[in-house]
Structure 1
Amino acid sequence: MGTDLKISTRSSLERYSDALLDLSHSIHAEPELAFEEHRSAEKITSLLAREGFKVDSGVADLDTAFVASYGDGELVLGLCAEYDALPEVGHACGHNVIAAASVGAALALRDVADQLGVTVRVIGTPAEEVGGGKVLMLERGVFDDVSFSMMVHPAPYESCAARSLAITDLKVHYTGKRSHAAAAPHLGVNAGDAVTVAQVAIGLLRQHLEPGQMVSGIVTHGGTVPNVIPARASAMFDVRAENLESLQRLENRIRDCFRAGALATGCTHEVEQVSPVYAELTPDPWLADAYRRAATELGRRPLPPELEQREKIGSTDMGNVTRVLPAIHPTIAIDCGDAVNHQQEFATACASASADRALLDGALAMAWTTIATATDSQQRARLLARGGAA
């Protein structure tokens, strides 16, 4: 039965390959930022609606989020689609490939959904780069009856049980007092200096960070003209760690550095959390192994499990999903030379022939992982037992 189903899904995917590549390239050509992905969401949902999926748009009170469903099986698969881009470098994280691969897996599984006893859902999750769309959708019940979830992410290397760092992104705003920078600098309270003190404090802190902790940041506003003492200045920092517990310890220390800037300069300050906290990925071992078998059968060459533990892919709100239900977030390799995610060269690679192959292979690997899961009585019972039955 499993072999016949795999043959059927491969045939279905081949039938839709042109439409899927067109979808990927179209999303890539019109990059949209977090919570503004209106064209991308419409492109995805239009294709799925034409193919018989029931589409609910604007779910979880998010205009660009959606759920597209097919079938009524008790085992509910959630295929996550991301489609937001980055400022200036567009789809330099390959979310066009992610979206099209999840759509491809859904279309491949559509005609065998009844045989498998599954409900196939494409869950459109906006604002992964900033904003935490999946976190908001989790909190608002979109994943409540999902039995298991998956997606594939393009990267320079192949990993079946990909790991990530927990992250919180913080903005600090300092308020001081304007004055003439030459005639009366002593009457000013320099908010720009407060940012500098905080940056220096964070720089010195780096020597004492725990393994896996890291901080990166930019000044988002430092004043307007050099002859006016700036009364307002702001900076934004990404604070990352191996897990949520370590992240909280680091955040406490970073907030102390922010306070140091205010204390040293006489400014007041406010700290703003920009996005929900992203948890670290905790991939489901059985699903990861099933995906490894599928990817290997397709000729992919994933990293050995012992090396996967050492590689970190950055941070993702899919980590929050993996803490709530069985889920995986494999990476799939594309030919990108020396480039890595979030570089312009990687954005170019995400519309290449290599990315196209990764899209189709990733879609089929997810479909075959679903077949392996749904036809394994022990795993099926495990996933249904967690309360994910529709």
Structure 2
Amino acid sequence: MSSAAASTSVEDAVNRRRSDLIELSHSIHAEPELAFAEHRSCAKTQALAAERGFEVSEVAGLDTAFRAVYGSGPLVIGVCAEYDALPGIGHACGHNIIAASAVGTALALAEVADELGLTVVLLGTPAEELGGGKALMLDAGAFDDIAAAVMLHPGPLDIAAARSLALSEVTIGYTGRESHAAVAPHLGVNAGDAVTVTQVAIGLLRQQLAPGQMVHGIVTDGGQASNVIPAHTELRYTMRATNSESLHELESRMAGCFASGAVATGCEHVVSETAPAYAELAPDPWLAERVRAEMLRRGRTPVPAELEAEFPLGSTDMGNVTQVMPGIHPIVGIDAGGASIHQPAFTAAAVNASADAAVVDGAIMLARTVVALAESDVERDRVLDLWQKRAS
């Protein structure tokens, strides 16, 4: 099968399943589920692949993670599906679009797997918003046989080689001693004051943060009654930076701020990671350029390559994947009326006509990109050589 024929075949396959893919996107959107509890969404994402003959199995000991495999070719391609939602605002990150487009990509590639020497692996990756499903799956070996991984994400713009920030998140617990706030305040050790001191310290630190570093957090436990000096409080803070090295520097400085609250008030404090750290995206240049060409072919207007770094995505555990293998995580634009991800208006937009177009366009673009990779002797050998080095 020629490259042109294979590219046409995968595009036709997506178009034939258009209604099924859009129905899947809308169904996941209608029943949003949070990290590691995406049982309905996981089952829905598996269903069309299982019907097509993909062999489905659980991985990493995670109830809502899966691998669905089709074909037996030497070039193993992973297609990542996300389907977790956000607390309170549902699919404001458009993961319903990600899941449906991933299924469309996998179904399309199954049509040409034998001719192109492919093994297609649809990966259900839970807990991207909080929990690091892909990082856990990487550690568990779910990506060990995969030579290259692809996925897409919706957003306000089309970006072929999207960038992201490295991220880590921690909880900080302060423990003091209760006492009546009026009768015997001198007998208390105020864990609420520890929170205040810590937040002031972080506020002062912000002026000295390096470019690209940022911190944001919330109080998850501030005490239970205004007339009881709180013996326990808790913060949750997210730290981000342009790369993992800068993130480690930021974590060290933030550790001093967390400790300051304890030192100033006499409390004990414990800092705990809430999930694996997220590395920054490292999009494969060749794959990115193929995606850019596909965006233009579909009538989209991707951000110019020289400006892509000015539009960081936020953070994603797909960064961990792209740090160890060739991968791509383009942004496919939808019309959200000026809203951005993680806003309620984006939730509504994630099932509008432009979102449906993103499902179909995204699946076609990713599938045709994989076909181009499989048909290029140079690039195919490159990713297989990288995989062999990783596996040895």
Residue identity in the other structure for 2:215: V
Q: Give 1:277's aligned residue.
A: 277
1:71 counterpart residue number: 71
Whether the 8 Å CA contact 1:146–1:388 is kept in 2: the answer is: no
User: Could you tell me which residue of structure 2 aligns to residue 92 of structure 1?
Assistant: 92
Shift of 1:387: 2.7
Pair 1:26 & 2:27 matched: yes
Matches within 5 A, 1:200-239: 200-239=200-239
Secondary structure of the corresponding residue to residue 123 of structure 2: strand
Name the CA distance, whole Å, in 2 between partners of 1:387 and 1:47.
29
8 Å CA contact retained: 2:11, 2:368: no
Following superposition, the deviation at residue 69 of structure 1 comes to 0.9
- CA distance in 2: counterparts of 1:149 and 1:35, whole angstroms: 22
Residues 147 and 383 of structure 2 are in contact (CA less than 8 Å); yes or no, is this contact kept in structure 1?
A: yes
Task: Measure, in 2, the Cα distance between the counterparts of 1:157 and 1:213.
Answer: 23
One-letter code of the match for 1:108? A
Distance in 1 between the 2:96 and 2:181 partners?
A: 49
Equivalence for 2:165: 165
- Taking the aligned partners of 2:387 and 2:247, their CA distance within structure 1 comes to 30
1:334-349 matches, cutoff 5 A: 334-349=334-349
Counterparts of 1:189 and 1:38, CA distance in 2: 43
Question: Deviation of residue 109 (structure 1)?
Answer: 1.4
| Residue identity matched to 1:329 | H
Question: Structure 1: how far apart are the matches of 2:180 and 2:387?
Answer: 65
Shift of 1:331: 0.4
Equivalences for 1:189-338 in 2 at 5 Å? Answer: 189-338=189-338
| 1:340 aligned counterpart, secondary structure | coil
Letter in 2 for 1:379: E
Q: Does 1:373 align with 2:370?
A: no
Q: 1:351 matched to which residue of 2?
A: 351
Q: Give, in angstroms, the shift of residue 338 of structure 1.
A: 1.8
Displacement after TM superposition at 1:388 (Å): 5.3
Residue 140 of structure 2 is aligned to residue 153 of structure 1? no
CA distance, structure 2, for counterparts of residue 342 and residue 238 of structure 1? 15
TM-score (norm 2): 0.98
In the alignment, the residues of structure 2 paired with residue 259 and residue 309 of structure 1 have an alpha-carbon distance, to the nearest angstrom, of 34
Moved more, 112-121 or 261-270: 112-121
| Counterpart Cα distance in 2 of 1:377 and 1:129 | 37
**Aligned residue in 2 for 1:181:** 181
Deviations 1:236-261 (A, max 9, x none): 00000011110001001111001000
Q: Secondary structure at the match of 1:64?
A: strand
Equivalent pair of 1:144/1:388 in contact (CA under 8 Å):
no
- TM-score, normalising length from structure 1? 0.98
Aligned to 1:15: 16
1:254-311 deviations in Å (ceiling 9; x for gaps)? 1100100000011000001001010000111011011111111111111000110111
What is the SS of the residue equivalent to 2:64? coil
Q: Distance in 1 between matches of 2:357 and 2:312?
A: 23
Q: Paired residue for 1:45?
A: 46
Q: Any stretches of 5+ residues in structure 1 without a counterpart? A: none
Question: Share of identical aligned residues, percent?
Answer: 57
